[in-house]
């Protein structure tokens, strides 16, 4: 359920790459414990938006943004400790990117960097995160195996476990199912439903039915602008507010 308290507030956000506009003055709020889906065709600005939220956009030399983005009421542009922001916001990329470490060390890496040193604490965190990612039962007897030796679906769940290891309050998933099979996708969706009970989830997806299954609210981005933002049962109904929304979610264009 949507809690009603704003977790993320975006006001008149404009992003450019050189002279090309990627986001054109969008404004919206994401609430605590919201499962918030962002849909739209390629080049709509979906991934750009995620990179603004955790301030990785600044790694792109010609990227600039204007507007106000607040997380828990704090303007992220003025935060001195960007690492604390990135610990608060876990990110899962479209393709699984495993560290060249064991399964155990993949998950323990961030807690160690945060100062956790005792084996008992690390063991507990690793098991907890692997269970949350629905991977523990499959790997508990081979935690010292390289994470890169797992199957694609297992590696993606390991990526989720690693994102959870620093105990984020917000979990962003950017096309998490693009390279995994439908069965694994459904398993991860069940994981996300459980996680949504105690964190805010932002789901960028080209699979409109995935957004329909998971999200409380859905935002339709097109060409860097918000076409429609509403409860998912409205967005995916036969009568959304905008006809373009109806056309997109029904595969008429996109």
pLDDT at 70: 97
Q: Using alpha carbons only, what angle is made at residue 190 by residues 145 and 49, rounded to the nearest 5 degrees?
A: 85
The answer to the question of residue 81 being in a domain is yes
Give 236: exposed, middle or buried? Use CB within 10 Å, 0-12, 13-18, 19+.
Answer: buried
- Scored b (16 or more CB within 10 A) or e, 199-222 reads bbbbbbbbbbebbbbbbbbbbbbb
Tens-digit pLDDT string for the chain (254 aa): 444 789 999 999 999 999 999 999 999 999 999 999 999 999 999 999 999 999 999 999 999 999 999 999 999 999 999 989 998 999 998 877 777 899 999 999 999 988 888 999 999 999 999 998 889 999 999 999 999 999 888 998 999 999 999 899 999 999 988 877 888 888 889 889 888 888 999 999 988 999 999 999 999 999 999 999 999 999 999 999 999 999 999 998 76
Domain range for 110 is: 6-249
Q: How far apart are CA 164 and CA 161, in angstroms?
A: 5
User: What pLDDT sits at residue 180?
Assistant: 78
Give the model's pLDDT for residue 23.
98
Q: How far apart are CA 217 and CA 1, in angstroms?
A: 10
pTM above 0.85, yes or no: yes
Q: What is the CATH number of the domain that holds 188?
A: 3.40.50.300
Q: How many domains does the chain have?
A: 1
Q: What are the φ/ψ torsions at residue 185 (nearest 5 degrees)?
A: -60, -45
Report the candidate in 133, 48, 140, 143 with the shortest Cα–Cα distance to residue 101. Answer: 143
- Residue 92, in any domain of the structure: yes
What is the longest distance spanned by two Cα atoms in the chain? 57
In terms of residues, how long is the chain?
254
| Residue 188 within any structural domain of the chain | yes
Evaluate whether residue 158 is within a structural domain. Answer: yes
């Amino acid at each position: 359920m949507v809690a009603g308290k704003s977790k993320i507030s975006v006001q008149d956000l404009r992003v450019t790459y050189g002279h090309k506009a990627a986001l054109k003055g969008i404004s919206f709020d994401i609430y605590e414990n919201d499962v918030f889906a962002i849909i739209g065709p390629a080049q709509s600005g979906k991934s750009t938006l995620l990179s603004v939220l955790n301030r990785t956009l600044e790694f792109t030399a010609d990227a600039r943004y204007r507007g106000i983005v607040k997380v828990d009421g704090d303007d992220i542009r003025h935060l001195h400790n960007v690492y604390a922001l990135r610990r608060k916001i876990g990110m899962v990329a479209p393709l699984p990117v495993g560290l060249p470490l064991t399964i155990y060390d993949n998950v323990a890496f961030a807690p160690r960097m945060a100062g956790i040193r005792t084996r008992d604490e690390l063991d507990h965190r690793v098991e907890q995160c692997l269970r949350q990612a629905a991977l523990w039962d499959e790997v508990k007897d081979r935690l010292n195996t390289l994470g890169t030796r797992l199957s694609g679906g297992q590696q993606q769940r390991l990526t989720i476990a690693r994102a959870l290891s620093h105990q984020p309050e917000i979990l962003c998933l950017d096309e998490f199912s693009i390279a995994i099979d439908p069965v694994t996708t459904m398993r991860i969706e069940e994981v996300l439903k459980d996680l949504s009970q105690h964190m805010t989830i932002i789901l960028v997806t080209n699979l409109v039915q995935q957004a329909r299954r998971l999200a409380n609210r859905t935002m339709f981005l097109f060409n860097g602008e918000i076409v429609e933002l509403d409860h998912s049962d409205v967005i995916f109904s036969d009568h959304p507010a905008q006809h373009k929304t109806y056309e997109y979610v029904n595969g008429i264009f996109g």
